Chain A
């Protein structure tokens, strides 16, 4: 079609092109009120929730100690593994690997720390109900830090006694530390292990004092991790502009990302599970994922984790938690349904904040790129390895362009936390 080249037509074309520039894309369909409400429900990133089980959670001295501990390879048997080994700040606190590797390779992907602060249950299977309890798991995992409780107390006393005692109170004396077994820890599933025998041989006050120090390592690390909340991303600038009625809101987000957002909250149905300001329902779903290369056996996921968290040594309401169950602090645990049939093979919906920087994806790193993830949702191939695929899941309709969805997901990348929290600190 050829337009007549008259002054009026030229003016009209200029108007059209200016309008297009102002909107980013001239043919954008306006958001409906429900769509706009959904968009605004995803932004901005949330404020910190109260940490009922850790009275040091917002103590800056604890955060600074936790920061040092997070980067301290001395908290591992080999002296080579720190929390930061699998949660590298520059990678948005992930490791870039399909499956995390400490002393050995694990069966799970290392999720980002950013955005875990408000979750009722952590780990892919939700087997811990606080960040401080979570931080202690890898320390005693044979595949990760392969550390033990008496060695942790000894290291704490040797390297951090003054800082620790200013926050948490007395550590065992030097003489008491010297009297501890070299390596001891509880091993409920292997009571004949030398470490378990050494632990059982300790007097109860000794075990209690060592566990208190160990628990406070976790509480300091949680205090640090609470400094690592996701920060606003380009999507949030767009949502903020929509919220204040800015006619130029579209300048904040390019056209493919806006189209991806439309699919995300609409035809794609992604927002069903990736909801709220962390873009996660904090719940557990079985996607019917393909098996992960190199992993033997099937992973029961939440069905196992739900049982574990109810028996966990450090769960909400135990002597190690600062929460008081009678004050209603342990409700998530209390009302957890461990028999929920859809938990079999289910894993926690991950936050999508900074997702473009936290691959590989899924609980065992099954997909290397976001394009692969979207490709999976386009076809939903195969069947669940265990349990059944979540009935909510439907294939992405053909009208949804994969590259648009990826563009939207990339718009969820915000800045890293403040630089002072990205290294071991002073």
Chain B
């Protein structure tokens, strides 16, 4: 019993000091996770992962579209929470060949766990052969978002879903 009481006191001290240190979020960008993402029921919000990159970190998400028609890479700087940001997108056929003329692309973002999307209306414009720029994106909630890249061309319609963890920082940490 005595030992138990002493150990408990020590635990309390330990708890106190363990709470204090700063987290050290990694500066590595969220890794690209290609492929389809499950749409869950309204699950409780998950806390941001410790690995969520800090605002300003360069991110590159990419992979192959669901039906395997296209390959795409989405690049942007991790936005501050609730701040407008832009993305740059490169799309090719899955073979690596250039897209057929007249291909169109849209970029959107949703939070499947919360069943909502962005409150803004982004605009996607051609930035070069196989390149698109999207302005007016805004992620107003921290946590898991999924970028949806829809590509349409004579090769067919297909979609990439690219998960991304929005960090909670709205101001520079």
Contact = CB atoms under 8 A, between A and B. Distances in A.
Interface in A240-293: 241-243, 245-250, 265-267, 269, 271-273, 275-277, 281-284
Contact of A34 (B8, B48, B138): B48
Interface band, chain A: 35 or more
Contacts of B95: none
B82 A19 contact: no
A394 interface: yes
Contacts of A332: 84
A273 to B, nearest CB: 7
Interface string B150-173: 000000000000000001111101
A60 interface: no
Nearest to B170: A276
A20 interface: yes
A33 interface: yes
A41 interface: yes
Contacts of A343: 119
B44 A12 contact: no
Contact of A12 (B9, B84, B116, B123): B9
B1 A245 contact: no
Contact of A275 (B18, B21, B50, B168): B168
A326 interface: no
A334 B138 CA distance: 13
A234 to B, nearest CB: 17
A316 to B, nearest CB: 13
A27 B8 CA distance: 9
Interface stretch (B63-71, B96-104, B139-147): B139-147
Interface in B59-88: 81-82, 84
A335 B121 contact: yes
A424 B169 CA distance: 37
Contact of B171 (A6, A242, A276): A276
B82 A334 contact: no
B120 interface: yes
B39 interface: no
A3 B5 CA distance: 9
Contacts of B138: 335
Contact of B5 (A13, A243, A249): A13
A8 interface: yes
B136 A265 contact: no
A19 B21 contact: no
Contact of B2 (A8, A30, A31): A8
B169 A27 contact: no
Interface in A1-60: 3-4, 6, 8-9, 12-13, 15-16, 18-20, 22-23, 26-38, 40-41, 46-47
A311 B166 CA distance: 32
Nearest to B121: A337
Contact of B136 (A3, A15, A284, A331): A331
Contact of A335 (B2, B122, B141, B171): B122
A270 B27 CA distance: 27
B1 to A, nearest CB: 7
B38 interface: no
A282 B123 CA distance: 21
Interface in A339-354: 339-340, 342-343
B40 interface: no
Contacts of B143: 272
B134 to A, nearest CB: 10
Nearest to B142: A275
A159 interface: no
A15 B9 contact: yes
Contacts of A36: 19, 22-23
A4 B23 contact: no
B85 to A, nearest CB: 10
A125 to B, nearest CB: 13
A391 interface: yes
A371 interface: no
A266 B44 CA distance: 9
B9 A275 contact: no
9 contacts: A30-B19, A46-B170, A242-B22, A277-B171, A331-B135, A336-B120, A391-B42, A391-B114, A392-B45
